[in-house]
Amino acid sequence: MPAVKSSEPIDYTGHWRHGVDDSRRVMIPARWRPRDPRVQLTLVPWPVGAEDRLLVLPPGRWREMLGRIRSKSLADPRVAALERVIGGTAIQQSLDKVGRICLPETMSTAVGLGKEVELVGRLDKFEIWDPRRYDALSAQDAKLAAEALKEMEL
């Protein structure tokens, strides 16, 4: 099925802890769901090389990432490696009729997801974490965010 463009931007804000059912499906918050049920979200184990969560990109953000990769030299072996890693691990999926996304077993295992996950908004994308890993990172994130905010002079 071809990818469908989503016409309305979604702000992925907030975080939720949800259970994962026996079929590895997790409920996506209603306000994060695209209006068009055919819209495909792209799941990528993240960060490349140290995967500890799933990064979930809506179509526009996925196209932006691809555009940045495509702008790099084809002769650069690092770019080729990045294309292979992301191209070989990314999966595109639509939500089911009740708003769930299926977490592929290989991805879930690779990033350590179990029977419960933490969905964390990142403004124009979101992440899926193991709750223990997310909790351990939260204190560090607050410090890094404060530093970034100072640099942005907001």
Could you tell me which residues come within 8 angstroms of residue 94 by beta carbon, excluding any fewer than 6 positions away?
Answer: 1, 37, 38, 39, 40, 41
Provide the residue-wise pLDDT of the chain in tens; the chain has 154 residues. 455 554 568 999 999 999 999 999 999 999 999 999 899 999 999 999 999 999 999 999 999 999 999 999 989 999 999 999 999 999 999 999 999 999 999 999 999 999 999 999 999 999 999 999 999 998 889 889 989 998 887 6
Q: Is residue 9 part of a domain?
A: no
Residue 145 lies in a domain: yes
Torsion of CA 76, 127, 143, 152, to 10 degrees: 60
54: CATH: 3.40.1550.20
Neighbours of 48 (CB within 10 A): 13
Q: How many domains does the chain have?
A: 1
Angle between helices 77-89 and 59-70 (to 10 degrees): 160
> Does residue 104 fall inside a structural domain?
yes
Residue 6 domain flag:
no
**123 within a domain of the structure (yes/no):** yes
Range of the domain at 122: 16-152
pTM over 0.85: yes
Element (DSSP H or E) covering residue 102: strand 100-102
Whether residue 8 is contained in a domain is answered as: no
